[in-house]
Amino acid sequence: MSSGLVNGITSVCSGSLILGAAGFLTGRRAACHWAWRELLPIFGAIADDGRIVRDGNILSGGGVTAGIDFVLALIAELRGQRVAEMVQLGLEYAPQPPFNSGRPDTAPVEVLEAVNVRTGPSRAQRRARLEAWATARHA
């Protein structure tokens, strides 16, 4: 089976920031953990809130739990849907989260606000470092 991803590049969670820093995402859509997604444009990438995003030979996934969905999609690309479904069955992967707060758009407002308060300082520091890096790189 032939796939456009045989010579592709993949990432999950904030790994797309590494791909962006390496110059692979300029003008390309990419997924990233929601808390870091807004940093993708620093590298010329187009932030996409999809759980799994394919743009040409680049396949990226959202947060770390998207990794299972991501790898099933990758297996389907490389080996076919049937093999991916066999792997899913072997893992008994049938998610049924007890809460609907896994994404900012579905989480209760107070939960999202609490997470933003907790992670805000580190996110601001990371943004400042990445912007400084990008500015120095283009100087």
Sign of CA dihedral 68, 51, 63, 55: positive
Active site residues: 13
Between the CA of residue 9 and those of 20, 30, 42, 48, 107, what are the distances in Å? 11, 11, 19, 17, 31
Task: Yes or no: say if 77 and 57 are a contact pair by the CB < 8 Å rule.
Answer: no
Distance of CA 81 to the CA centre of its chain: 22
- Look at the block and give the residue holding tokens 């030979």: 57
* Residue 27, token pair as written in the block: 């003008």
